[in-house]
Structure 1
Amino acid sequence: MIMSTPELEGEALKAFTMAEGPLTEAIAARTGADPARDLSAAVAGAIRVAGRHWLEPGNTDSFATVLRRALSRVFPATPSEARLLPLDPTRQLIGSQCSGALVLDHLGLLAGRPACTDTTTRPWLEERGVTVLDAPFHAEGAIATAGGCLASVYLAAWTLLHTVGEAAARAAIDYAAPVGEKEEVVQRVMSTVGAVEAALR
């Protein structure tokens, strides 16, 4: 109804515009990015696109959810991101989960590697030319990606495997796994991580 009524649409867009400045300043304060140079146009675009999607008939997501999705697309494109994340796979283990793969790609860390991500981020990552795997976890060398909120367990196991060893990794996953499912969870997680590692040897 709002987008089909010119007066209401104008008021809605005016409200979105009023939010641009405070949101830009808040993001700048948290990231250290320059508001005018790095953020202003990107945040304004994200708010307006999110607003229109939020007002579309049939949408059931909150405005915050829609805006978060829009910002996850534009944030990895800010020049300050590289300065804020001095990642080096020659001396660090680097992992991403869900939309974090967009950041890795922007920083050039995927460099032709396939990646895992969540279903919402998948089309955006594919638009950037990244091959997205239908899998919860993938790793090559010191860089790993995981797709889906619960896929964090694979990143945890991979990190522990490379830092404190398989026994410690198994013990940590066993400790965190649900009661009654511990053996099954440990086996699945370690098998998945182990299979990825073996395939790349």
Structure 2
Amino acid sequence: MTHNLRADARENRGRILEAARALFAERGLDVPMREVARRAGVGPATLYRRFPTKQDLVDDAFADELRACREIVVDGCADPDPWRGLSSVVEDLTVLNARNQGFVDAFMSAHPHAPVFGRHRADLLHRLAALAARAKRAGRLRHDFAVDDLVLVLLAGRGLSSAHPDTRTAAARRFAALALDAFRESATNGALPRRPPLLDDAVRVHR
């Protein structure tokens, strides 16, 4: 009986996480917990027993995406060619985010009750700032680029999640290519408008 109860608990947890990922991807993080329970086919009590807070559910639902996001950034930063590394980060993150609006919402959240995402985001943005500095020294990245500009691209790319699944990846890759063309250092670069403060103080990254 104990074995069956544990198997049932694992199955319920798996269904809850699957339902949460699907709903967050479709509609962002504003989906009510009760709707997650309904989609998973469990009662609210079961949901809250497994995940006492919504942030607990968000953290676990996006654990795989966090790992994928970190791998993209770490691999890009390890590339000896900083422009190639930065290009791969921009493209791969754009594709990853196009598949999952909820992950973008969670990653961009500045709420203090989301420590997992806060630490993750701060670490990766600092790594990207160092990569951007290398690309500037190599003369490949425009001199007035700031990490906020990458955040701006990720925010703008949220709309790609509404594209048809069959075209989403291709659209994300084209969007990334256009963004990279704007990031590239060129004698014809025009002056950029004032940089908006897109990062909170906890993860402020200077150029």
Which TM-score applies when normalising by structure 1? 0.29
Considering Cα pairs closer than 8 Å and 6+ residues apart, tell me whether 1 or 2 has the greater RCO.
2
Larger radius of gyration: 1
Length-normalised TM-score, structure 2:
0.29
**Which of the pair is proportionally richer in strand?**
1
